[in-house]
Amino acid sequence: MDHKAYLQPYLRLAIALFFLIAPFAANGQTLNLYDAVSKTVANYPLLQQRQAEVAAGRAHVTTVNGNRLPSLTLQDQLLAGTDNPVQGSYFSMGMVPSTPGNYNTVNNNPYEGNLAISYLKWEFYTFGYYNAQQKEAKAQVGVSEANLNSDKYQLTENIVSLYLDWLKKYRLQQIQNENLQRTQVMLTAIRATVLSGLKPGVDSSTASAAYADARINYLQAMDNYNYDRIAIGTYTGINSTDLLPDTSITDPALQNPVEVKLADSVTSGHPLLDVYQKQYEQQLASNKTISRQYLPRFGLSGATWVRSSDISPSEVYPNSLSGSMPYSRYNYLLGLTLTYDLFNLKHRHDAVAENKLKANATLSEMQTQQLTLNTMLQQANSTYASTVEKLKEIPVQLYSARQAYGQQMALYRSGLNTLIDVTNAQYVLLQTETSYVNMQDELLQLLYIRAGLGGQLDTFLQNFKR
């Protein structure tokens, strides 16, 4: 017998297996679940935006605190114009310059003058309006912080779910790779028996078709894995070219599942519910601000000013503008003020009523969300118990399927069964291996869902810190 011809099929098999296994043998960078979440939380732009909003809210509290301070306005005017007063009153509207004095028959009286004034205004008692503004600003900070925590929670959920899916696809890819190797071994063995005349040629064609199908499934599994790998790299900011998941988390997940003590229901402190609670509190604080905005205000007003004019006390106008205007008159004015717009009471009533309706709507939305989360928790608890029981049976099934495949392959080589028997055994083994991976993934997914709904997602992640 030609030993080279005999060894050639096995040499081709060894070369094929090398190129199939080589991608997994490379020293890739292993990323565990805890680090994936930590890097995502640290780098994701949305959370950076939320953190900036919290900082802006805290700065706004400082701004609102400044509303208590009085205002002091200083102004100096250098004037040149005419002085043609007219008797009668008018609404100044804050725009019309004042021209006091007696009525003058001449309508073109130029003069020069100057004015320096300081004006103080301080509303020192507002019936709690300033306090209400401050509490509303702090309540808005609470909303911003709740939004940050909610987005952080949802982002953590997304990355955990994506990571576990990525891990599952990595393992399914390995299963398809092993199945492809088994198909290659079977194809080589069948070709050898066909060439020796021990098996019909149709077996070789059937095995070739099975190999092609196995390779297609392997390539599809590779595409699925790479899709999640790229997504993980985008979330974490890590170069995903040689990134690999941490497969060690599947062993404790099967034998000693991570267990956390959970409440029977989702509490209002859950990040997804706390957003609504903080919005509700902010709307109540806004209502207090509105109700106090239209109450009376006690204030203090004060002004001092100096003035000069080149019009004489006997109302003689200068022949020409000299430009020399020393201050000649000094005045001051001090007063207590009470401001109360009675006709705004209707507006206050309407604004408060509107805000109450918004607050009630937010409260109802929170209750709806809490009902949904409680349902999810109960479903997860129920599914978790059955999943653990199913996982206890799969190792037995997996061992039996591997034994059956090995026995069928040995019988085929001995000519005691058909290719259909081997193919069926191989299919059962592939399905059992796939079910095993899917069941472990389902268990891990249920564990993190239960931990998240129970408010112990951080505790859950600590179990996967390396």
Domain segments of the chain: what residues? Answer: 9-63+131-284+348-462, 70-125+297-339
Do 210 and 187 contact (CB within 8 A), yes or no? yes
DSSP lists the bridge partners of residue 122 as 300
In the chain, which stretches have pLDDT less than 50?
Answer: 1-26, 255
> Given this model, what pLDDT does residue 22 score?
42
Rg, the chain, Cα only: 41
Hey, what's the torsion of the CAs at 259, 265, 268, 273, to 10 degrees? 80
Q: Residue with structure tokens 């709806």?
A: 368
Task: Give the number of other Cβ atoms within 10 Å of residue 332's Cβ.
Answer: 10
Task: Give the number of other Cβ atoms within 10 Å of residue 235's Cβ.
Answer: 21
DSSP lists the bridge partners of residue 121 as 71, 301
Length in residues, the chain: 466
In whole angstroms, what is the distance from residue 456 CA to residue 466 CA? 19
DSSP per-residue letters across 170-183? HHHHHHHHHHHHHH
Q: If residue 422 lies in a helix (H) or strand (E), which one and from where to where? A: helix 419-453
Instruction: Report if pTM > 0.75.
Output: yes
In 3D space, the residue among 276, 273, 295, 272 whose CA is nearest the CA of residue 284 turns out to be: 276
DSSP per-residue letters across 300-362? EEEEEEEEEESS-TT-PPPSS--------EEEEEEEEEEE--GGGHHHHHHHHHHHHHHHHHH
Do 97 and 103 contact (CB within 8 A), yes or no? no
> Given this model, what pLDDT does residue 242 score?
85
> What distances in angstroms separate CA 331 from CA 72, 117, 424, one per listed residue?
17, 9, 108
In 3D space, the residue among 302, 300, 303 whose CA is nearest the CA of residue 339 turns out to be: 300
Q: Is 168 exposed, middle or buried (0-12, 13-18, 19+ CB in 10 A)?
A: buried
> Given this model, what pLDDT does residue 362 score?
92
Residue partners of 62: CB distance under 8 A and separation at least 6: none
Q: How many separate helices (H) and strands (E) can be counted in the chain?
A: 10, 6
Q: Among 3.30.930.10, 1.20.120.1200, 1.20.1600.10, 3.40.50.720, what is the CATH number of 9-63+131-284+348-462? A: 1.20.1600.10
